[in-house]
Amino acid sequence: MRDVRRVLLTLTVVLFAVYPAAVARADSGESTRVTDEKQHAAAARGGYPYREKSEYVLKELDLKPGDVVVDIGAGDGWWTEKMAAVVGETGVVHAGEVKQDLVDKMKKKFAETSQVKPYLCPTDGAGLEENSCDLAFLSKTYHHLSKDGHVDYLRQLRTVLKPTGRLVVIEHYQALAAGGARNHAWSPGLLTQQAEEAGWILLRSELITGTRHFVAIFVQKELFSIKPPEKK
């Protein structure tokens, strides 16, 4: 019995040594315990404070070389550039924008980056081929979608993503927004409700500390279906 326990202990140590990244990716790694009354106070500045936490966000995305991403509402291509560096030349980042001038600026900016594909994005969906993307990324874009059209939009994204594809949304936490900023924010609870109605399941939702923004990650509901065992 002692020998068996010794072997199991050795295997456990080896697994943690060989696969530390798998353990680290389980969550943000931060405790939810409040040890300082000011620890959640807004610390980052500017219109996109969560960009200061880009390392954390990219860790949550867990992109790999060869992945295909659609960055919806890519704007100036700030996140596009960072994701393109991770997916590499074997991957693709479709940088979608609804304004042609922004698309033209990104085409110029990424002229030498072959994996970035700026394009004019429709307002009712991603406008890409079915089952073509591994991840859909919406950073401060969700609140811009047409009123009462959020569920349909999320439902359309399901057709663009592969069965194992993920949906990632970053938004200003509406309950923490003040004044006019509330019109450019969203409730994580409402987002989750709308996503579930469209066939998505919340995998993780976390506050990006010090930014008053949150990141929510969803996967498709079918992944949770119980499949009957294959007949031999």
pLDDT score, position 37: 87
Q: Which domain holds residue 91?
A: 51-219
Cβ proximity of 201 and 171 under 8 Å: no
Assess if residue 28 is contained within a domain.
no
Q: Are 209 and 40 in contact (CB under 8 A)?
A: yes
User: pLDDT band for position 182 (50/70/90)?
Assistant: very high
**What is the mean pLDDT of the segment spanning 5-19?**
41
The number of folded domains in the chain is 1
- Does any domain span residue 111? yes
Q: Tell me, what's the pLDDT at 41?
A: 83
Sign, CA dihedral 20-21-26-30, equals positive
Q: Tell me the CATH number at 159.
A: 3.40.50.150
**Mean pLDDT (whole number) for 219-231:** 85
In terms of pLDDT, which residue wins out, 175 or 228?
A: 175
With respect to residue 30, please indicate whether it lies within any of the assigned structural domains.
Answer: no
Pairing of strands 161-172, 213-220: antiparallel
CA dist 89 and 110 (Å) reads 13
Residue 41 is assigned to a structural domain of this protein: no
Question: Would you place residue 70 in the very low, low, confident or very high pLDDT band (cuts 50, 70, 90)?
Answer: very high
How far is the CA of 115 from the CAs of 95, 107, 232, in angstroms?
10, 12, 43
| CB distance 122 to 152 below 8 Å | no
Q: What is the secondary structure of 27-96 as a DSSP string?
A: S--------STTTTS----SS-GGGGGHHHHHHHHT--TT-EEEEET-TTTHHHHHHHHHH-TTSEEEEE
Q: DSSP state, 177? A: -
pLDDT at 6 over 60: no
Whether the per-residue pLDDT at 9 is higher than 50: the answer is no
Kindly indicate the confidence band of residue 28, based on its pLDDT and cuts at 50, 70 and 90.
low
Tell whether 10 is covered by a domain: no
**Taking the model in full, what pTM does it have?**
0.84
Which tokens hold the place of 230?
């294959």
Question: Does the structure show a pLDDT above 60 at 15?
Answer: no
Least Cα distance to 72 among 118, 105, 131 occurs for: 118
The closest of 190, 197, 188 to 217, measured between CA atoms, is: 188
Q: What are the counts of helices (DSSP H) followed by strands (DSSP E) for the chain?
A: 7, 7
- Mean pLDDT of all residues belonging to the chain: 87
pLDDT class for 213, splitting at 50, 70, 90? very high
CB atoms within 10 A of CB 76: 14
Q: Is residue 175 part of a domain?
A: yes
Query: Tens digit of pLDDT for each residue in 123-169?
Result: 999 999 999 999 999 999 999 999 899 999 999 999 999 999 999 99
Tell me what pLDDT residue 39 has.
Answer: 81
pLDDT band at 57 (very low <50, low <70, confident <90, very high): very high
Distance set, CA 226 to CA 214, 229, 231 (Å): 31, 9, 15
* Residue 127 CB neighbours (<10 A): 16
Q: CA distances (Å), 23 to each of 27, 56, 218, 221, in order? A: 8, 15, 20, 24
- In a domain, residue 112? The reply is yes
Residue 114, domain member (yes or no): yes
